[in-house]
Amino acid sequence: MARERRGGDRKRFLRASRDIEHVKQHGRRLSTTSFNLLICRTEDNDTRVGIVVGKRFGGAVRRNRAKRLFRELTRQVYGQLIAGYSLLVFPKRDAMGLSFDALKAVWCSTLRRQGMLRTPETESPHP
């Protein structure tokens, strides 16, 4: 695939709208006060995360900020994610009021409860 011609983030994130629609159709849904999450099993070996921020969220600066925050969260826990899933994140406006550490705590505990993290018992310090 042409997408894999590039390195780095391109493997970890969902970009094509077709894939995002697929997850929206077949995914399992759960929500917190900071974000909504859709989880879907795929045949692919990699796990990909898509971040969707609608126009209602705010201006371009606020939308970019939300996407950057969740991308950073994904990068920090990506090594511990179990392969073979597609995740879709819908950030909420309340998440922007939290600090990065608080958001990370919510993010990790949510993923752990869903069994998406490989090392559930060890509280991972700063990578």
Partner RNA sequence: GGAGAAGACCGGGUGAUCGCUCGCCGCGGCGACGUGGCGAGAGGAAAGUCCGGACUUCAUGGGCAGGGCGCUGGGUAACCCCCAGGCGGAGCAAUCCGACACCAGCACCACAGAGAACAGACCGCCGAUGGCCAACGCGAUUGGACCCCAAUCUCAUCGCUGCGGAUCAGGCAAGGGUGAAACGGCGGGGUAAGAGCCCACCGCGGUGAUGGCGACAUCACCGGCAGGGUAAGCGUCGCUCGAUGCAAGGCCAAAUAGGAAGACACCUGCCGGUCCUCUUCGGAGCAUCGGCGACCGGCUGGCCCGGCCGAGGUCUUCGGGUAGGUCGCUUGAGGUUCGAGGUAACUCGAAUCCCAGAGAAAUGAUCUCCUCUGAUCGAGAGCAUAUCUUGGUCAGGACAGAAUCCGGCUUAUAGGUCUUCUUCACCG
Partner RNA sequence: UCCCCGGUAGCUCAGUUGGUAGAGCAGCCGGCUGUUAACCGGCUGGUCGCAGGUUCGAGUCCUGCCCGGGGAG
Interacting residue ranges for RNA, rule: CB under 7 A:
2, 4-10, 13, 15, 17, 51, 59-61, 64-65, 67-69, 71-72, 75, 99-101, 127
For residue 109, the one-letter residue type is S
CB of 16 to RNA, least distance (A): 7
Whichever of 25 and 115 has its CB closer to RNA, that residue is 25
Phi, psi of 51 (to 5 degrees): -120, 125
Judged by beta carbon, residue 123 or residue 127, the one nearer RNA is 127
**Sequence-separated (6 or more) residues with CB below 8 Å from residue 16:** 3
Q: How far is the CB of 55 from RNA (least distance, A)?
A: 8
37 by Cβ neighbours in 10 Å (0-12 / 13-18 / 19+) ranks as buried
Give whichever of 67 and 92 is closer to RNA, judged by the CB atom: 67
We find the least distance from the C-beta atom of residue 33 to RNA, in angstroms, to be: 18
Name the minimum Å distance from CB 120 to RNA. 22
Q: In what order do the strands lie in the sheet with 35-41?
A: 28-31, 35-41, 85-91, 48-51
Closer Cβ to RNA, 49 or 111, answer by number:
49
- 8 A C-beta contact, residue 39 and residue 28: yes
